[in-house]
Every structure is written in structure tokens, then in C-alpha cells.
Structure 1
Amino acid sequence: MAGPYINQAHIQGLVEAKKKQIANRAMQIQNLVRLQEAEISELAALQLTVSPIGKLPTELLIKVFYLVVPPELFSDQGSDNTDQIVDGAHRVSQVCHHWREIAHGAPQLWVDGFRFSVSERPSRLELEQTTAWLERSHPLPITIYFHCTAGGNLDPGVGFKETELFRILLSTTRRWRHVIWDIPYLCPLGDLHPGDFEGLEQFTIENRDLRPPTKSLDVFLSATRLREVGIRTHGADQPDIIEVFHFPWKQLTSLTLEDGLSFGACRDIMLQCTSMRSMKIRSCSWDALEVSPAPPVVVLPFLNTLELHVDGLVATALGHLFPSLALPALKSLNLSFNDPLHHTVMWDTALFSEFQIRSPSVEKIVLTAQETAVAVENLLALVRHSPAVTDLTINVFGIDDVFVHGLQVKENDPHPLAPRLVTLALGHPVDASSDELDSALEGMIRSRWKPTGDSRVFDANVPRIASLKTVVFADRRNRVSQEFSSGLVALLEQGFDLIFK
């Protein structure tokens, strides 16, 4: 029996009709979505008129904006294309007309972190952004980050300093509060006039391709508000670059000198900084033959924090620096060494101890030696002449039981080492004497531990010391003995803190 006849043309017509019907439904849905979005916007606008934030005083609303807007107004979004740099304050100004008026009238929202991607041909967008930013931040001091996107290929004579963008910026130099200079050429700074930096408080150089100018930079001498200077060349081979900067060293309170700089030049500059509070020096260039003998002792009465990182010839470096220093206010001392030519670092204990005697207030010491050991007599002398130290980190290779025994508090010892020690961190102990080291560590910890709230009367033969609260061990998680762990269980239960890293 034959099946029913199927009219192909009729079926095709039904298919086309159904497609049109679906398309109509999609169009209707899109229209409804648009209507819904419009109604949501109207609802939000109505709610804003009666919501608390819509009634906030302008001054308070500006403070709210300042909290929610990132401090870097122009943040890098992973590209040097300025079209992709998004302004947080600008986003706030786009919420509504009322917010835009407030944001544009609040210069404090626009003063920090403007980044200029320097090129010889700034785009029209860059010029417009710069002009708008300078107008909106007026008259407050501003922070500017100059960043070179051309890989260090800018022409020093007719490059960035000849552009319209730089001329616009030059008109505002008296408003520059913090300048971050990531451009290989310093010649644009040499064209500034005395007084241009009268508002400058902080100046930072960060560029690995930095090239010295043909003349010294004297413009900073008139920067009466300048307090913080940082020069980070990231390993660039320019040991004498620091000598072209004529900073008012005596008025600086914070100084960072890193990488590629001559240690001798750093020392000579350091001794001029009589108002310094914080200093960090990392030197990769050291020539003992070119450094003059240590000058007479110079007192830096306000220096609170000192970080010194020396690559190579550690003993020579320390011998030429610390005999010239007296730091009565020093609280934190961070020393880091890298001397691949010597398996064990040693320095003149007497000279360094004299420096410590002139600097008796050090409370925190961090000593790090990469891939090398430090002579135990130097370690013990370092601790012996730091009577105020409360936080001690010794991160060097070869820590042994001799050093740990030196830290143990013994009966009838009127002058124990580090009597105020509260936190101790030790790293890279020797492998050969694990049992002896574990025994020495346990004895040292017990001699310095006193449970919180312990009202026991101290033995007259035991000197009064602070209670050791925390001990941190590096690289010992897999080597600590069972006896060592079990021996300290009672102390851990009483509140002692033992940390393995």
C-alpha cells in the first residue's frame, strides 16, 4: 500500500514561515530587552535622587571617590599604547552628570600617577589627555611617571624634549612633587632652570639603559623641598653616573642607590647626608684601588634604617665604610653580601665593633650571605656589640653549634649576648653536625624562654633577659631530629612559637 503523498513545496513554505516567525520573536525580545534596560536606567536615576549617596555633601562624596579610585590614575593595562591606559577618576566621572561635575572640580583626584609613554611623535590623544589632566589637577602638586617605549632609541638632541608634549609639561615644573624618570637620556633635565623644581619632594630614576649627560645636573640644587631620592639603574654599567647629579645631599631624608654604581662614590655621598633617616645602598662596582682611605668619623644623627648590599670584596667594602660612620639613632641594620671568590666572608672585627659601639641603639639586624659562609667570630662579635637587638636574622651558610652555644644564656654570666632578644631567625646550618646543632639549639632556646605570665623569682645566678618568643629555621624541615621536636613540645604548649621555612 502506498504511503501518503508529501507536498515538498508545502513543507518548504511552512519552514520559511516558521523561520520568519522565529526572527520576529527574536526582534520582539530584543526590543523588550532594550525597554527593560531603559526602565532599569530610569529606576536607577530615580533611586539616586532619593538615595543617601545622592544627598551626600560634595566634600564627603569627594572623599568617597578618593577611596574607591585607585591611586594610580593612569594604570598600565599591559601595553604601552596610551589608548589602553584607563583613568580611574575618569570612570567615576562617567557615572552621571552630577558626579562628573564633582570629579572634574576635585583636583585631588587627579594628582597621582600620571604615566607618559614618551616618544618623539606624541599622538593627539596624548596631548589631549595631558592637557586635560593638568587642568583638572591644577593647582595641586602632581606625580609624573616618564616611561620610554622606544627601547632607549630616543634622539638626545631633538627627541622628546623638542616635542609639544614636553613643552606643555615644562610649563608645570613648579608643580612637580614626585618625578619617576624611566628614560635613558637625562639631557631634558639639563635644560631646566634654577627654581623649576621648587616644589619637588621626591625624585626617582629607574632605567637600565641610562646614559650620562654631557654636563652635570645642577637644577636639583634649588629644590628646597626635595627629601627623597632613588637611583636604580638595574645593573647598567654606569658606576660614575651618580657623580653627574648635584643633589642637596644635606637636606635629604631618604636615599636609595642601587646597581651599577661605584661603592666609593656611594660612600662619599652617604657621608654628606646629615639629615638622612633611611638609606639603601646596593653596589655592583667596587675597585679598592680607586677608593681613598676611610675619612674621619661622620655622625649621621637621624639615620634610623640602613640597608647595605655588597657584591664582592666584602671585607674591603666594610673596612672603607663603617670606620667613618657613627649612627646613634640607628634602629634597623640590614647587611647582605655576595662574595663568590671567597668561601667564607671575614671582616675586621675590631673596626666593625667600634662602629657598633658608636651605634648602640640597633634593635633589628638582618645578615644575609648568598652562597657563602661568615666566620663565626664575626657573627659572635656582631651579636656581642648589639645589646639592644630584639629581632635577629642570620641567614648565612655554615651556622654551627659554636655560634648557637654563644647565644645560650649561662649562669653567672653578667653580660649575656643579646639580652633583649625576642625573635631569632637562623638559616642554612651545616649538615655535618646535626645532632650537636640540635642539642645546642634546644639548650639555647630553653635558656632564653620564659612563659607568659610566669611569676617565678629569677635565680640570682641567672642574668635577667627578655624572653625569646619566636625562632624561625630555614631549610631544616626535613632534617630536624625527633628528639629536638619532642624536646620542645612543652614550650610550644606554653606559647613558644617555632617556625620552619
Structure 2
Amino acid sequence: MTLIGAPVRAALLEQRERTKRSSKAEIERFIEELESKIISLGSQICALEELRDHQRACVLALKHIGSPIHSLPVELLVEIFDLAAGDYPYIEFKDMYRVSQVCSDWRQIAHSTPRLWTRIPSLDLHRKGNVPDPMAALLARSAPLPVRISLGHNYGGINPGILEEVMKVSSRWGYLLVDTIGPTPLSLLRQLAQCRLDNLEEMDLGSIDATESTPPPAFIAPRLRKLSISNFTGEAPQIIMPWAQLTELTFECDCQDGSLEVLTQCTNLVKADITISEWSRPPQVGQDLIYCSQLQSLELWFMAENPLFFDYLSAPVLQELRLHLDLADLPTELHWAAAHFTAFQMRTPNLTRLEIHSSDAFTITSDDLVAALRSAPSLTHLKLGCYDDTVDNAFIRALHYEDGVPPLVPRLHNLVIKWTLVLMEDVLAGMIASRWWDDTELVPSLVARWTHLELQIQCNWDRPLWELREDYHLPPWPILQIFTYTYT
């Protein structure tokens, strides 16, 4: 049984009484009136629902406008977009595409910010067809800022259409990398050299195929400062560069005179990374020194039989020197020319950082190391990575500080030794302790206190390191880091 409310029952009773008194025509008219009212009420309900939905949309829009992301300045939003692309030298187009597709405002900001599009991914010069659409968009949106260009090339032919399109924006190249499989043909370099390179500051040409007999390419780049180049054949670099304006150079040459010829022209170098694959030229009496008056950092990779490079070089303001002696492929064992290196050190009185890494085919004795350190009174950082008995107990004793005895390398406070042989615990611990003191102790005036010690040694000690720390008052971690290993 359905229960009906009192108002409804009253209405039904009233209609029943009225029906009894009304004619059929009156009833039909009354029904039409009621249906009209129902339709009118339905229309009002629809209008109210539409008004409600509109108001809800207004509320959501106002909340969206008032969200924190919309209160950020455009400059800060651009920084966020830039971080979204990562720290890589080249961006993935899809990353910036996603950012620009979030909303119309973000798309407008991204497309109107050229610096977001300056890191162009590698362009494959061997690719068939035209420049890919994403690359064309990047080139267009990056204008007018300098761009980073990477040109990929393999043993196939070069697509002239792609190269032509990229060369159209050569005046905006800020960095150029020729990423090739095998040597870069001179024909490609010659085309690049004909471009306008008004903004080019850094260039990496890889290795050069110098077998062609055509004239060498000549680059004119008024802002070029950093250059990386390898020349595997020929007596001299098969390329003309504004060497005198370079401040950083990475150069590899397999000829005996190529490195010297290049350095002679690089009069303003501040940092150099030189690889010498062959060296057979004996020192000449009266040979003019190559005077590198501004060179501060030098990294040398010797893959040669006679590393006499130092006989020709003078670097009075040199502060950092890294030596890599890699002669593993040679049939005989070779020895370090200590006298040549010591003579070079006399011309570099400001050397503060020294690294020496040698293979087992290149013999450096502990006496050679001590002689090198005696000629480096300003040395503060020393890193040794030798695979023989170069660093032995005698060398460690030479570093021991004793009152009344002039100390070896008195300013040395950062020492890293890797891959050395067995050291006696009392010799090593005593040397470390002699150059270490607590803040409460009297500070010796003739020697610097350790700030970093990293030692990787073969160790057969009877006591654990923590006992040595207590007995010898050694520096705590992380100032002192000792990693031990054993041979099986």
C-alpha cells in the first residue's frame, strides 16, 4: 500500500469534487493548463541547470587563473622550461614539444623564447630527403641566437640538401661538432670553412682525413676560442685555423713535428690537451723554446718512444699538469727521462697541481718522483696512478715531515695515490701523521695540513684502520680515505 502525503490527498479530493461539478470540456481545458505549467516549470529547470553549469565553469576558470603556476613571472617559467630540457648539450625535440602542448599560453611562451631551441640534436648528413621537420622548427625558433650544431656523418655520401639548409644558419653557429665514423673528409671541412662563422666560439672537428691532395681548408672564425682536432696522417695539420686567437686546444697528432708546429702558432693558449702518438726527434742544440706565456693547464698523452716534448716548451704561469704515459703496445720497457722533465719544471715555477698516470711499460722510479717534487715547491695537489713499484716506502718516507729538516713539497695538502704496491703501515701512517694536527694543537709553520687523502693500496697490515687512526692520530673520514685490495 502506497502512503500519500496529506497535501497530495487534499489536492486529489479537491480535484475529485471539482470533477464531479465540471463538465467534460472543463476537465480537458484544466488538463491542458496543467500540462502547460509542467512544460513551463521544465523550461525553468533547464535554464537554472544551465546557469548552474555556467557558474561552475566560471568558478573553475577563476580557480585556474588564481593557481600558483599562473602567478609566476614569464622569466621564471622560461627557466623551468629550460630545466625540463635537462643539462644535456642537445635537447630532445619531444621534450620541448610536450612543454609547448600543455596550453596555449605555454606554447606562446615557449615558441617566443629562442634560447629554449638553441641546442639542436645531431643532424645526419647521410640521411636521405630534406631536413626533418622538427629540425627545421628548431632552427627557425632559435633565431636570432647562436645554436649548437652537431653534424653526423658516416662512410656514405653527404646529402647536399641537408648540408645546404644547415649552412644557411652558419652565421648563428656557436658550437660545431663534426661527429663522424672515421676521419672527416677534407671536402666536408672545405665546405664548412666557406661558411660565415661570425658567432662560432667552439669547434670539434674530430679526426681529419689528410690523404687528399687538394689545398687545405682555411677557417675564418673571429670569435673561435676552443678547438678540438685530430690529425692522424701527414707531417703537419692539413687545415688552416686562427691558431693565435685560441685559448683552449685539444689536439692529437701522430707526426713528430705537428704538435710543435701547432703550439708555436697558439700564442694565447690557456688550456691545452695534447696527444703525441709518435716522437723520434732528438733534442737540437740551440732549438728555440715554444713560449706559452698564458698557458695555465696542460694535459699530455704520451704514446711515443721518447717523450722529449718538454725540451721545447716553456710555460712560466702553468699551474696544472696532467701526464698520461701509455706505452702498453710497445715491445720494450721504457724509462722516464727525469732530467728533461726537471729542466722543464725550472721553467714552470708556479705549478700547483700535478698528475702522473703510467702503464706498466713505462718505468718511473720513486727517485724520479722525488726529483720531480723537489722541483715543484708550490705543489698543493698530487695524484699518482702507476701500475708498478713507483710509489714505494722510500717515496712515502721522502714525504715525511721532520722538525729541522726542509720539507718536500711543503704546501702539499691534497694527495691521491692509486694502484700502488705493499706499503709498511708504520711508514705510511707516520708520514700521514707528520702532516696532520688537530685544531687544538700548535700548527707547524713549514708544512700544510692535509685536506684530502685518498689511497688505494695493497695492504697486508695486521691491524685495522681504526686502530691506526687512534695510535697515530690520523685524520678522520672523509679527509683520509684508504681503500685496500689484495692480489690473488
TM-score w.r.t. the length of structure 2 is: 0.77
| Partner amino acid, structure 2, of 1:354 | A
**Other-structure match for 2:316:** 328
User: Is this contact kept in 2: 1:190–1:215, CA < 8 A?
Assistant: no
Q: 2:136 aligns with which of 116, 131, 139?
A: 131
1:134-283 paired onto structure 2 within 5 Å: 134-148=139-153, 151-154=154-157, 159-160=158-159, 162=160, 164-183=161-180, 184-192=184-192, 196-206=196-206, 212-220=211-219, 222-231=220-229, 238-240=232-234, 243-258=237-252, 261-262=254-255, 264-283=257-276
User: Is this contact kept in 2: 1:74–1:87, CA < 8 A?
Assistant: no
Q: Secondary structure at the match of 1:482?
A: coil
Give, in angstroms, the shift of residue 273 of structure 1.
1.6
1:354 pairs with 2:343: yes
Task: Render the CA deviation track for 1:295-352: whole Å, top value 9, x for unaligned.
Answer: 3223212212111111242xx22x2x21222222222111111234487653333332
User: Is this contact kept in 2: 1:439–1:484, CA < 8 A?
Assistant: no
User: Is this contact kept in 1: 2:385–2:418, CA < 8 A?
Assistant: yes
User: Is this contact kept in 1: 2:210–2:238, CA < 8 A?
Assistant: no
User: 2:155, 2:197 → 1: CA distance?
Assistant: 25
Task: Render the CA deviation track for 1:232-290: whole Å, top value 9, x for unaligned.
Answer: 58xxxx233961121111111111124x643531232123222111111223x304159
Task: Render the CA deviation track for 1:459-486: whole Å, top value 9, x for unaligned.
Answer: xxxx71111343322232x534428763
User: 1:352, 1:380 → 2: CA distance?
Assistant: 12
Q: 2:455 aligns with which of 464, 467, 473?
A: 473
Task: Render the CA deviation track for 1:397-435: whole Å, top value 9, x for unaligned.
Answer: 20222212222223332x32100111222233344xx4x
| Partner amino acid, structure 1, of 2:178 | W
| Partner amino acid, structure 1, of 2:420 | P
User: 2:421, 2:284 → 1: CA distance?
Assistant: 38
Q: Secondary structure at the match of 2:251?
A: strand
| RMSD of Structure 2 on Structure 1 (CA) | 3.1
Give, in angstroms, the shift of residue 153 of structure 1.
2.2
User: 1:179, 1:469 → 2: CA distance?
Assistant: 40
User: 2:59, 2:283 → 1: CA distance?
Assistant: 75
How high is the sequence identity, in percent, across the aligned residues? 25
Give, in angstroms, the shift of residue 96 of structure 1.
0.9
From the superposition, tell whether residues 290 and 144 of structure 1 become closer, same or farther in structure 2 (CA, over 3 Å). Answer: farther
Give, in angstroms, the shift of residue 97 of structure 1.
1.1
Q: 1:102 aligns with which of 103, 109, 129?
A: 109
Give, in angstroms, the shift of residue 386 of structure 1.
0.8
**Other-structure match for 1:405:** 397
**Other-structure match for 1:28:** none
User: Is this contact kept in 2: 1:389–1:420, CA < 8 A?
Assistant: yes
Task: Render the CA deviation track for 1:146-187: whole Å, top value 9, x for unaligned.
Answer: 113xx4222xxxx32x2x222111211111110010134341
1:499 pairs with 2:481: yes
From the superposition, tell whether residues 346 and 46 of structure 1 become closer, same or farther in structure 2 (CA, over 3 Å). Answer: farther
Q: Secondary structure at the match of 2:96?
A: helix
From the superposition, tell whether residues 481 and 249 of structure 1 become closer, same or farther in structure 2 (CA, over 3 Å). Answer: farther
User: Is this contact kept in 2: 1:295–1:324, CA < 8 A?
Assistant: yes
State the number of aligned residues: 420
| Partner amino acid, structure 1, of 2:339 | A
User: Is this contact kept in 2: 1:254–1:277, CA < 8 A?
Assistant: yes
Q: Secondary structure at the match of 2:376?
A: coil
User: Is this contact kept in 2: 1:427–1:473, CA < 8 A?
Assistant: yes
User: 2:278, 2:284 → 1: CA distance?
Assistant: 12
Q: Secondary structure at the match of 1:88?
A: helix
Gaps of 5+ in 1: 1-40, 76-84
Stretch of structure 1 that moved more, 364-373 or 248-257: 364-373
Q: Secondary structure at the match of 1:91?
A: helix
Q: Secondary structure at the match of 1:63?
A: helix
User: Is this contact kept in 1: 2:256–2:280, CA < 8 A?
Assistant: no
1:388 pairs with 2:385: no
Give, in angstroms, the shift of residue 56 of structure 1.
3.1
From the superposition, tell whether residues 291 and 109 of structure 1 become closer, same or farther in structure 2 (CA, over 3 Å). Answer: farther
Give, in angstroms, the shift of residue 110 of structure 1.
0.6
Q: Secondary structure at the match of 1:187?
A: helix
Q: Secondary structure at the match of 2:223?
A: coil
User: 1:481, 1:301 → 2: CA distance?
Assistant: 52
User: 1:44, 1:114 → 2: CA distance?
Assistant: 40
User: 2:403, 2:463 → 1: CA distance?
Assistant: 28
Q: Which structure would you say has the larger Rg?
A: 2
